[in-house]
Amino acid sequence: MKVLFFALLRERLGCAELVLEQNEPTTVAKVLEQLKSRSQEWRNTLDNQELLAAVNQSFVDFDATVQKGDELAFFPPVTGG
Amino acid sequence: MKVLFFALLRERLGCAELVLEQNEPTTVAKVLEQLKSRSQEWRNTLDNQELLAAVNQSFVDFDATVQKGDELAFFPPVTGG
Amino acid sequence: MIRVAVQEHNFNMAELYHELSQSPANGAVVTFTGLVREVVDTELTHLTLEHYPGMTERALNDIGQQAMARWPLGKIIIIHRIGILGLNENIVFVGVASGHRKQAFAAAEFLMDYLKTRAPFWKKEHTSAGTSWVAAKDSDQTAASRWQSSKE
Amino acid sequence: MIRVAVQEHNFNMAELYHELSQSPANGAVVTFTGLVREVVDTELTHLTLEHYPGMTERALNDIGQQAMARWPLGKIIIIHRIGILGLNENIVFVGVASGHRKQAFAAAEFLMDYLKTRAPFWKKEHTSAGTSWVAAKDSDQTAASRWQSSKE
pLDDT reading at D152 higher than 60: no
pLDDT reading at D141 higher than 60: yes
What is the domain count for chain B? 1
Of A4, A7, A80, the CB nearest to D133: A7
User: Looking at beta carbons, which residues of chain C come within 8 Å of D142?
Assistant: none
State residue C91 phi and psi, 5-degree precision. -110, -50
Which three-class secondary structure state does DSSP give residue C45?
strand
Residue D113: per-residue pLDDT: 97
User: Looking at beta carbons, which residues of chain D come within 8 Å of A78?
Assistant: 116-122, 136
Can you list the alpha helix ranges (DSSP code H) found in A1-81?
A: 7-13, 28-36, 40-48
From A18's Cα to the closest Cα of chain D, the distance in A is 15
User: In this predicted model, what pLDDT tens digit does every residue of D15-39 receive, in sequence order?
Assistant: 999 999 999 899 999 999 999 999 8
Does the domain at D2-143 match CATH 3.90.1170.40? Answer given as yes
Residue C150: per-residue pLDDT: 62
From C141's Cα to the closest Cα of chain B, the distance in A is 10
Residue D40: per-residue pLDDT: 78
Residue C6 CA to residue C49 CA, distance in Å, equals 11
From B30's Cα to the closest Cα of chain C, the distance in A is 23
Nearest CA in chain C to B58: C55
CA dihedral over D6, D8, D9, D11, signed as positive or negative: positive
Q: Does D84 touch chain C (CB under 8 A)?
A: no
Provide the residue-wise pLDDT of chain C in tens; the chain has 152 residues: 999 999 999 999 999 999 999 998 999 999 999 999 998 778 999 999 999 999 999 999 999 999 999 999 999 999 999 999 999 999 999 999 999 999 999 999 999 999 999 999 999 999 988 999 999 999 999 999 999 876 54
Whether residues C28 and D31 touch (CB distance < 8 A) is answered with no
Residue B30 included in any domain = yes
Residue A81 included in any domain = no
Helix (H) / strand (E) containing D112: helix D101-118
Residue C137: per-residue pLDDT: 93
Cβ neighbours of residue C13 closer than 8 Å, sequence gap 6 or more: C31, C33, C93, D13, D14, D17
Whether residues B73 and C52 touch (CB distance < 8 A) is answered with yes
Residue B40: per-residue pLDDT: 96
User: Looking at beta carbons, which residues of chain D come within 8 Å of C96?
Assistant: none
Residue B81 included in any domain = no
User: In this predicted model, what pLDDT tens digit does every residue of D33-90 receive, in sequence order?
Assistant: 999 999 877 899 999 999 999 999 999 999 999 999 999 999 999 999 999 999 999 9
Of C14, C87, C109, the CB nearest to D105: C109
Whether residues D120 and A6 touch (CB distance < 8 A) is answered with yes
Per the CB < 8 A criterion, the answer to whether C20 and D82 are in contact is no
Residue C65 CA to residue C63 CA, distance in Å, equals 5
At A41, which CATH number?
Answer: 3.10.20.30
> DSSP letter at C141?
H
- Domain carrying residue A56: 2-75
Of B57, B75, B80, the CB nearest to C80: B80
User: Looking at beta carbons, which residues of chain D come within 8 Å of C39?
Assistant: none
Whether residues C104 and D36 touch (CB distance < 8 A) is answered with no
Residue B80 CA to residue C20 CA, distance in Å, equals 23
Whether residues C34 and D17 touch (CB distance < 8 A) is answered with no
Question: Taking the C-alpha atoms of D137, D143, D144 and D150 in order, what is their torsion angle to the nearest 10 degrees?
Answer: 160
CA–chain centroid gap for B57, Å, is 12
**ipTM for the assembly:** 0.94
Whether residues B75 and C123 touch (CB distance < 8 A) is answered with no
Residue C102: per-residue pLDDT: 97
Whether residues A8 and D133 touch (CB distance < 8 A) is answered with yes
Q: Does C32 touch chain B (CB under 8 A)?
A: no
Residue B51 included in any domain = yes
Q: Where are the domains of chain D?
A: 2-143
From A38's Cα to the closest Cα of chain D, the distance in A is 24
First to last CA, chain D: 21
User: Looking at beta carbons, which residues of chain C come within 8 Å of B4?
Assistant: 52
Of C13, C26, C143, the CB nearest to D13: C13
- Stretch B33-39: mean pLDDT, rounded? 97
Whether residues C29 and D27 touch (CB distance < 8 A) is answered with no
Which three-class secondary structure state does DSSP give residue B54?
strand
pTM, to two decimals: 0.95
> DSSP letter at D136?
P
With contact defined as 3+ CB pairs under 8 Å, the chains touching C are B, D
Q: Does D118 touch chain A (CB under 8 A)?
A: yes
